[in-house]
Amino acid sequence: MIHMNDVTKIYGNNAKGVTRVSLDIEKGDFAFIVGSSGSGKSTLIRLMLKEIEPSHGDIIINDVVLKSLTRKSVPYFRRRMGVVFQDFRLLPSKTVYENVAFAMQTVQAAHRDIRRNVPAVLAMVGLQKKAKAYPNQLSGGEQQSVSLARAIVNKPALLLADEPTGNLDPETAWEIMTLLEDINELGTTTVVATHAKEIVDRMKKRVITIQNGMIARDIEKGGYSDEI
């Protein structure tokens, strides 16, 4: 699903994003990318979204070679992945239902499909009763659930989450992680960048550790601070 080969990203001010990263994440996998802030986690996520270009190396996602992707075809590439951020990024002027429906309108889905899929995803994240609420009427955990619902409503093959629990208390964070696990079990390849140590330790999933822009460890069913 994700194949990175010797990828280096150097930012304009000579600051290194990541250095010589090679990794493979198979279809249906669940993987954590862990590391302290500034270690390069977000750079990896942004590279996978083709938001930034690598300075060197190849990235292949969903059988698409990213560097051969034209500007025009980037939107169609992104339709096959869902993204979740630390700050939720919901539209404050739209209701929960509209926020999720927005993702389907954006890809010009049929009204019939929107009316069928949106309530189904909201039920999956447990928010069917809050469909008419606005984001500022929801708790942080609920807002992140809406954001998750929006990310998966178009049935992406790959779900990328960048610090999804960074703004949440531990209990809510755990609920969100469980949701991510549920989504993964339905077949969506899931990559979560985080530094939530307790959760990573509890989940017993694959853990890729980034330090100073380089892969320090890559352990199946690992924990946050497992030694090499």
Partner 1 sequence: MKFRSLSYFMREAATGLLRNRLMSFASIVTVMSCMLVVSFSYCLAENVAYFLEQMESSLNLSVYLRDDVPPENLTPLSSEISSIPHVKTVIYVSSEDALKKFREELGDDQGLLDGIPEDKNPLPRSFNVALDDIKNRDSVVTELEGLKKDGIEEIKYDEQIINLIISINNAIRIVSVLIILALIIVSVVIIMNTIKITVNTRRMEIQIMKYIGATDWFIRWPFIIEGMLIGFIGAAIPVALCWFGYNGVVARIFERFKALERLVEFKSAPEIFVILAPAALALGIFIGSAGSVSSLRRHLKA
In the complex, which residues of this chain contact partner 1 (CB under 8 A)?
A: 49, 51-52, 71-72, 75-80, 83, 89, 91, 93, 102-103, 105-108, 110-111, 150, 154
Q: Which is nearer to partner 1, 156 or 223 (CB)?
A: 156
For residues 141 and 172, the answer to whether their CB atoms sit within 8 Å is yes
Output the smallest distance, CB 105 to partner 1, in A.
Answer: 6
| SS3 label, residue 121 | helix
* Residue 47 identity (one-letter amino acid): L
Minimum Å gap between C-beta 33 and partner 1 is 18
Q: What does the buried/exposed string (b/e) look like for 183-219 if buried means 16 or more CB atoms within 10 Å of the residue's CB?
A: bbeeebbbbbbbbbeebbeebebbbbbbeebbbeebe
| 216 Cβ contact list (under 8 Å, min separation 6) | 35, 209, 210, 228
Chain length of the chain: 228
Of 67 and 221, nearer to partner 1 (C-beta) is 67
At closest approach, how far in Å is the CB of 216 from partner 1? 29
Report the chain's terminal Cα–Cα distance, integer Å. Answer: 26
Q: How far is the CB of 75 from partner 1 (least distance, A)?
A: 5
Q: What are the C-alpha distances in Å from 21 to residues 9, 94, 191?
A: 9, 39, 16
- Between 143 and 154, name the residue whose CB sits nearer to partner 1: 154
Q: In the complex with partner 1, which residue's Cβ is closer, 64 or 219? A: 64
**Smallest distance, Å, CB 100 to partner 1?**
11
> Quick check: 158 and 1 in contact, CB under 8 A?
yes
Residue closer to partner 1 (CB basis): 193 or 207: 193
SS3 133: coil
Nearest approach in angstroms of CB 78 to partner 1 is 4
Q: Rank residues 77 and 134 by Cβ distance to partner 1 and give the closer one.
A: 77
